[in-house]
Amino acid sequence: MTDLKSILKTIKKFTKSKEFNEYAERAALKMVTSLFSDSGKTWRQAARVNSKGKGIYEALKNELNGPVGKSINEQIKRNAKLIKSMPTSIRPQITNFVKEETLKGRRSENIAEDLLNRFPHMYESKAKVIARTEVSKTSTALTKARCDSLGLPIYIWRTSKDQRVRSSHDIMDDVIIFWNDPPSPEKLAGVKSKLGKYHAGDCPNCRCYSEPVIRLNFITWPHKVYYKNKIVTMTKKQFEEIM
């Protein structure tokens, strides 16, 4: 392969191969089922320390046959589709690299050689971004499905509490959120963004997560609550009135 056209043709052929498609489906299955297993442990731990424990245990045993099982299958399909798109999605990077090197006066044969050496790195970089985002989104989707099946309407937004936390998410930390009313963190922080409304862990490169609230007694009151497009502080009594 000595030119851009043949390299892109090879990438396209690779994405349609049986081997790559099988790999993508296996990777997606592994990603989702491992999250399902890990988060299940967390839920079982929570079940041991509250009055709904028995109900949660029974729900966890049967959830694959209900909405959680449906959510898992949807996440596997979505993640497999994203993994399959990775080689194609780095095309803009390849095109830009060729354009920049051509402007430097380099020969196409030399550019193609460099590109072949860079391709694994670009593929790996894109894979890491997708993996970080999709693992987080999948975790949120599974938590929401579990909460829906157990009749738990709220969660607490948690951040990773380090310097990498974006300012719009920093203000969401420790805020009670209703699953049926996701916030727009950027709008609340006065930051211009097209992300719109979403739950913890549901935007690109987000490391936040949703902590299900099983009993209001586990919360220290007064507490921050996202309500009617604002973050307000409520007492337990005030919160119970809007539940």
Domain identity same for 171 and 139: no
Q: What pLDDT is attached to residue 1? A: 47
Domain identity same for 178 and 110: no
Domain identity same for 142 and 236: no
Q: What pLDDT is attached to residue 230? A: 97
Per mean pLDDT, which range of 76-80, 143-147, 223-227 is the poorest? 76-80
Cis amide leading into 153 (omega within 30): no
Domain identity same for 97 and 145: yes
Cα separation of 7 and 12, whole Å? Answer: 9
Domain identity same for 93 and 179: no
The better pLDDT of the pair 157, 92 is held by 157
Domain identity same for 44 and 116: yes
- Global confidence as pTM: 0.62
Q: What pLDDT is attached to residue 153? A: 96
Give alpha helix (H) positions in the chain: 4-15, 18-48, 53-62, 67-89, 91-103, 108-150, 167-170, 185-189, 236-242
pLDDT band at 117 (very low <50, low <70, confident <90, very high): confident
Domain boundary among 125, 150, 175: 150
Domain identity same for 13 and 87: yes
Domain identity same for 181 and 125: no
Domain identity same for 49 and 130: yes
Amino acid type, 177:
I
Closest CA to 87 of 11, 146, 28, 160: 11
Domain boundary among 92, 123, 150: 150
Total domains, the chain: 2
The contacts of residue 206 (CB under 8 Å, 6+ apart) are 133, 136, 169, 200
Q: Convert the pLDDT of each residue in 172-199 to its tens digit.
A: 999 999 999 999 999 999 999 999 999 9
Q: By the 8 A CB rule, do 76 and 32 touch?
A: yes
Domain boundary among 135, 150, 165: 150
Domain identity same for 133 and 33: yes
Domain of residue 10 covers 4-150
Domain identity same for 161 and 202: yes
Amino acid type, 90:
I
Domain identity same for 159 and 226: yes
pLDDT averaged over the chain? 76
Q: Convert the pLDDT of each residue in 146-167 to its tens digit.
A: 888 888 999 999 999 999 999 9
